[in-house]
Amino acid sequence: MREIAVLNPKAGKGAEKRGEFYVTRESGDCRRFVREECLKDPFVHFFVEGGDGTLNEAVNGIMDAEAGDAATITAVPCGSGNDTVKTTDTYGEGREIKVDLIRADDLYSINMINIGFDCNVVERAARYKKIRGISGNFSYILGVGRQFFSRFGERFSVRAELADGGEFTFEGDVLLCAVANGQWCGGSFHNSPLSDMTDGTLEMILVKKMSRINFIRMIGKYKKARLVSGEFADCVDPRYSDYVIFRRIKKLTLEGCVRICADGEIVPREKVVISVVPGALRYVVGKKEKE
């Protein structure tokens, strides 16, 4: 099997050239390159040296070429957040796993789809990261602070097919909706600790509109895996059960949004259909991310 390193030269921590490699030139170039290589010969292993956005492009390139059963991929974390590897590291270095993917309309995501507050924070954080001296994690925190004093809540209509065969519907004012395959977002937010990339389901965390004071009290728990946890009977901290809804889902239709964030990439959407694609990609766990 061929091995190709795909390098994003703008990755936050820098990348290292090795063997056969390709340096991306602009947004979308990684996706194009990976797709074309897979169409020439699908039995190729990609070392993706960059952040979550570069990995997202590579994943979409493989899926564009319908090469999910042939190509393999390893994320080499060189970005500012590196959220995906925080979950994949837990499966064991060197192990090949068949990971699920999230499909949002015609876009694939390996880690998480964020809508509402989280998505707006990422958009703002992208601006802060352009300022010299501001790291990826700090830019996200700044984005949280700025979004906190902006429009607070959006009206969403949500319809979901649950993993147990049931249905869930909701319409009302919402702060955020996270649809998770992985456990982390924003570089340091361990918001979905119950997610497993190999179980054929996704986790939906829906947070209704609340006062800013309550939000301040909640956000630390959301960040530190204490809002949603297996230690609670219904997986949600009882103090926030009036505001937070957790469901394991197979499919979700959401209307009323402006944009979605797929692995850190912002995409305009007023309506989105999100579903799980079980075992869609062959992923080889790399060396554990350095702290």
CATH number at residue 68: 3.40.50.10330
- The verdict on residue 287 lying in a domain is no
Q: Which residue has the higher pLDDT, 161 or 139?
A: 161
Both 121 and 18 in a single domain?
no
Q: How many domains does the chain have?
A: 2
Cα–Cα distance for residue pair 150/167, rounded to 1 Å: 33
- The verdict on residue 107 lying in a domain is no
- The verdict on residue 125 lying in a domain is yes
Both 128 and 269 in a single domain?
yes
- The verdict on residue 75 lying in a domain is yes
At residue 289, the pLDDT reads 56
Percent of the chain residues topping a pLDDT of 70:
95
The 10 Å CB-count burial string (b at 16+, else e) for 96-127 is ebebbbbbbeebbbbbbbbbbbbbbbbebbbe
Instruction: Look over the chain and give the mean of its residue pLDDT values, rounded to a whole number.
Output: 92
Both 208 and 255 in a single domain?
yes
Both 58 and 129 in a single domain?
no
Both 175 and 221 in a single domain?
yes
Both 62 and 138 in a single domain?
no
Both 148 and 264 in a single domain?
yes
Tell whether the model's pLDDT for residue 13 goes beyond 90. no
Q: Could you tell me the pLDDT band of residue 15, with boundaries at 50, 70 and 90?
A: low
At residue 135, the pLDDT reads 67
Half-sphere exposure at residue 25, Cβ-oriented, CA atoms within 13 angstroms? 3
Residue 19: burial class (beta carbons within 10 Å; 0-12, 13-18, 19+)? exposed
Both 128 and 203 in a single domain?
yes
Both 22 and 137 in a single domain?
no
Residue where one domain finishes, among candidates 79, 99, 127: 79
At residue 230, the pLDDT reads 95
- The verdict on residue 26 lying in a domain is yes
Tell whether the model's pLDDT for residue 29 goes beyond 90. yes
Cα–Cα distance for residue pair 212/187, rounded to 1 Å: 23
Please give the backbone phi and psi of residue 247, each rounded to the nearest 5 degrees, phi first. -145, 145
Both 35 and 132 in a single domain?
no
- The verdict on residue 87 lying in a domain is no
Write the DSSP symbol of residue 289: P
Distances (CA, A) of 231 to 185, 193, 226, 234, 244: 21, 11, 9, 9, 16
Both 191 and 141 in a single domain?
yes
Q: Tens digit of pLDDT for each residue in 119-138?
A: 888 888 778 877 877 766 77
Tell whether the model's pLDDT for residue 143 goes beyond 80. no
- The verdict on residue 196 lying in a domain is yes
- The verdict on residue 37 lying in a domain is yes
At residue 16, the pLDDT reads 57
Write the DSSP symbol of residue 259: E
Rounded to the nearest 10°, the torsion over CA 30, 87, 204, 67 is 40
Residue where one domain finishes, among candidates 31, 54, 79: 79
Residue where one domain finishes, among candidates 24, 54, 79: 79
Range of the domain at 183: 112-278
**Cβ proximity of 278 and 67 under 8 Å:** no
At residue 229, the pLDDT reads 96
Cα–Cα distance for residue pair 34/41, rounded to 1 Å: 11
CATH number at residue 132: 2.60.200.40
Both 250 and 119 in a single domain?
yes
pTM above 0.95, yes or no: no
